[in-house]
């Protein structure tokens, strides 16, 4: 089978690897679609991010969907030919955090396509994938592309949970890449009233408006527009910081209402925080990292038509054009979510 393997920065190869048969409690999946994530782009462009570096070749990818081709012993509730969204999250179930149901903090997490441990956890961008049945969410009624969006959507649903009740709240979203866009959708579904989105590009801000943002602000050309939200000590109850840029966080603090909540999703390396201003406003800072049970919730919301991700899948490439797909995925002037179709592989 063909797999997408990163060897070093800008060294992406399509390689042949042996396919596996499913063991007890597992299923074999013919991969249909894979979405390129920001972490995949970090490996592609820089060979890693922060202290996390590639030390060996690694199969990339963790936003995937596919069709079940074989069932392992003891698997029930799934069937051959069924489309499933595959969660990349595989907690051990036995560590101290798993025993507290904090599965996203598992000490022995096996998350597809991660160079955090060594040997690295190989990813899911391969024509044939063997996964635990518990990872598979039936995606009947969805397209393969929609099903592959379950992972980033789950990230944003987890962040929405971390933010607390949003009914009637005013929300600011900084950074309108895929995570920012999906946070807009999730916040609106959770009852947010006013949603303002900021970014540096017209294409991404257009996507934010399509996602339902009430107001969009291009911080490269109209940063003064945010000054109006700073009156009376600020107007926003919740900030979803999705850019990972310290300047975005610092610039948002004046617009935050006293007692507001900052949810930090963006991972851009260590950030210097405006602690004095945050203290004076009694702001709460909450990190948001990965997800667990929100994966199935995201699939269900898409199936019910309550969240529509289709407009934000902007490009689909065949497997043979994987390098072009990665190059395009990082271009925020024309790409929101680029996906790779494994069913088009020759």
For residue 300, is it within any domain?
Answer: no
Q: What average pLDDT score do residues 282-297 get? A: 96
Say yes or no: 281 and 160 in one domain: yes
pLDDT mean across residues, the chain: 96
Cα atoms in the 13 Å half-sphere on the side-chain side of 14: 16
C-alpha 278/C-alpha 263 separation (Å) is 13
Say yes or no: 145 and 16 in one domain: yes
CATH of the domain at 249: 3.40.50.720
For residue 303, is it within any domain?
Answer: no
For residue 296, is it within any domain?
Answer: no
For residue 295, is it within any domain?
Answer: no
C-alpha 309/C-alpha 298 separation (Å) is 11
- For 39-48, what is each residue's pLDDT tens digit? 999 999 999 9
Structural domain boundaries enclosing 102: 2-149+309-341
Joined together, the tokens standing for residue 202 give: 């017209």
For residue 269, is it within any domain?
Answer: yes
Nearest CA to 1 out of 18, 21, 13 is that of: 18
Say yes or no: 8 and 52 in one domain: yes
Joined together, the tokens standing for residue 249 give: 């966080």
Say yes or no: 89 and 140 in one domain: yes
CATH of the domain at 43: 3.90.180.10
> Can you tell me whether residue 248 is helix, strand or coil?
helix
Say yes or no: 70 and 38 in one domain: yes
Say yes or no: 121 and 234 in one domain: no
- For 34-89, what is each residue's pLDDT tens digit? 999 999 999 999 999 888 999 999 999 999 999 999 999 999 999 999 999 999 99
Say yes or no: 129 and 52 in one domain: yes
Neighbours of 220 (CB within 10 A): 11
Residue 320 has pLDDT above 60, yes or no: yes
Say yes or no: 161 and 275 in one domain: yes
pLDDT at residue 99 in the model = 97
C-alpha 77/C-alpha 137 separation (Å) is 10
For residue 248, is it within any domain?
Answer: yes
Residue 145 has pLDDT above 50, yes or no: yes
pLDDT at residue 343 in the model = 85
For residue 298, is it within any domain?
Answer: no
Say yes or no: 85 and 187 in one domain: no
Say yes or no: 21 and 119 in one domain: yes
Say yes or no: 80 and 131 in one domain: yes
**Rounded percentage of the chain residues whose pLDDT exceeds 70:** 99
- For 185-222, what is each residue's pLDDT tens digit? 999 999 999 999 999 999 999 999 999 999 999 999 99
Residue 272 has pLDDT above 90, yes or no: no
**Domain tally, the chain:** 2
Please report the DSSP string for 242-283 in residue order. Answer: -S--HHHHHHHGGGEEEEEEEEE----S-----HHHHHHTT-
Say yes or no: 7 and 126 in one domain: yes
pLDDT at residue 269 in the model = 67
pLDDT at residue 345 in the model = 42
For residue 293, is it within any domain?
Answer: no
272 Cβ contact list (under 8 Å, min separation 6)? 246, 250
């Amino acid at each position: 089978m063909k797999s997408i393997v990163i060897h070093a920065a800008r060294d992406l190869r399509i390689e042949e690897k042996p396919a596996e048969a499913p063991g007890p409690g597992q299923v074999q999946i013919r991969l249909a679609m894979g979405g390129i994530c920001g972490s995949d782009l970090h490996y592609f462009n820089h060979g890693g991010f922060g202290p996390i570096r590639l030390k060996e070749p690694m199969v990339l990818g963790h936003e995937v969907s596919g069709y079940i081709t074989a069932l392992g012993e003891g698997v029930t509730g799934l069937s051959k030919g069924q489309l499933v969204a595959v969660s990349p999250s595989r907690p051990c179930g036995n560590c101290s955090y798993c025993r507290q149901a904090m599965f996203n903090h598992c000490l022995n997490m096996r998350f597809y396509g991660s160079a955090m441990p060594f040997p690295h956890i190989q990813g899911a961008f391969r024509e044939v994938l063997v996964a635990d049945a518990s990872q598979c969410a039936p995606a009947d009624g969805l397209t393969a592309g929609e099903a592959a969006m379950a992972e980033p959507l789950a990230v944003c649903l987890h962040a929405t949970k971390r933010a607390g009740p949003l009914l009637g709240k005013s929300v600011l979203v900084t950074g309108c890449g895929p995570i920012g866009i999906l946070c807009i959708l999730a916040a609106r579904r959770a009852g947010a009233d006013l949603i303002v989105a900021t970014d540096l590009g017209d294409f991404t801000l257009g996507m934010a408006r399509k996602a339902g943002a009430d107001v969009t602000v291009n911080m490269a050309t109209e940063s003064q527009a945010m000054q109006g939200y700073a009156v009376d000590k600020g107007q926003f109850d919740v900030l979803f910081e999705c850019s990972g840029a310290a300047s975005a966080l610092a610039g948002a603090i004046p617009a935050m209402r006293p007692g507001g909540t900052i949810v930090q999703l963006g991972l851009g390396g260590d950030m210097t925080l405006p602690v004095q201003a945050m203290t004076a406003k009694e702001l709460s800072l909450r990190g948001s990292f990965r997800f667990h049970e929100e994966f199935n919730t995201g699939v269900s919301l898409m199936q019910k038509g309550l969240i529509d991700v289709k407009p934000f899948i902007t490009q689909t490439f065949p497997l043979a054009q994987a390098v072009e797909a990665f190059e395009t995925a990082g271009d925020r002037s024309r790409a929101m979510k680029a996906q790779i179709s494994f069913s088009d592989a020759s």
